[in-house]
Structure 1
């Protein structure tokens, strides 16, 4: 398991990124709004810089905030 609480996996071939929170898959995000919704559902208080905070979110593969298919 990754030590970063939130892992945003590489974009899928059809677009969207799998999101894991504390090791559990929350779903496929197709935008930052989807990602924020998953975090809120998990009880995470989201502030404006959270998605770019490397202590909280690890973006794997592709660019951060990029959800289109590779």
Structure 2
């Protein structure tokens, strides 16, 4: 089984979650809007928050898109 190309790691002590796309860490997100911005920067300009929440391309580790606390 191939893992999704986007991984959102569990929240850290500051509530940030590392975002990895195709093996590269793009930064830390503090909400779904930040993840959408990273996806746009990665070439998916049309993506918004709902795309992030619904996409099977994203592997949410340590909680889904509603979990932003450590």
Name whichever structure is richer in helix by fraction. 2
Please tell me whether residue 53 in structure 1 is matched to residue 64 in structure 2: no
SS state at 1:27 partner: strand
Aligned 8 A contact 1:6 1:21 in 2: yes
Q: Which runs of 4 or more aligned residues in structure 1 lie more than 6 Å from their structure 2 counterparts after TM superposition?
A: none
SS state at 2:9 partner: strand
SS state at 1:66 partner: coil
Aligned 8 A contact 2:32 2:52 in 1: no
Following superposition, the deviation at residue 15 of structure 1 comes to 1.0
Aligned 8 A contact 2:8 2:18 in 1: yes
Question: 1:7 — aligned with what?
Answer: 7
Distance in structure 1 (CA, Å) of the matches to 2:63 and 2:3: 20
CA RMSD of aligned residues (A): 1.8
Gaps of 5+ in 2: none
Following superposition, the deviation at residue 63 of structure 1 comes to 3.4
SS state at 1:28 partner: strand
Gaps of 5+ in 1: none
Name whichever structure is richer in strand by fraction. 1
